[in-house]
Amino acid sequence: MCLACSEVLHFTFPPGWDETRWPEVELCRYHRPMPWLYLLLGLAIGLLSGLVGTGGGVLIVPALVLLFHMGQHKAQGTSLGALLLPIGALAFWQYYKAGQADVTAAVLIAVGFAIGGYFGGAWAQHLPEVALRRLLGGLLLVIGLQLLWTGK
């Protein structure tokens, strides 16, 4: 059933196709984003990420939830998948060439992030979507207010 319009979805797979290998469809063909929209989102987030040094949970997750109507869990998983190692490497290289990156700190943060991400991802699977959405929204609000009120 389509999550946007409640249309009952019926798919006929060609003979010999393994139906279990395909992900469960949540949106009908009229509400499923075209691949180029995801590419456009990645381009916009990439530009902002390179510009202000952020991207994942701050920009991608809310965009996937609000614009692409993904559930919170799926948006978080998709964001993490999109931000695997090669993505940030190119933006990092620009900052490194300009002398604006501490490599030792970056490596240590990455190790901590990998460990924390593993356990945080496991914990998130046991929380309701509304709790995750409120947690993310609260963090964004607190961080945003802090950045706005810091007059340096």
Instruction: Tell me the pLDDT tens digit for each residue of 105-136.
Output: 777 877 777 788 888 888 888 989 898 889 88
The string of pLDDT tens digits covering residues 39-82 is: 888 888 877 776 666 766 688 888 888 888 888 888 888 887 78
Domain ranges within the chain, ordered by starting residue: 44-149
pTM greater than 0.85 (yes/no): no
**What does each C-alpha distance from 147 to 50, 75, 141, 144 come to in angstroms?**
18, 25, 10, 5
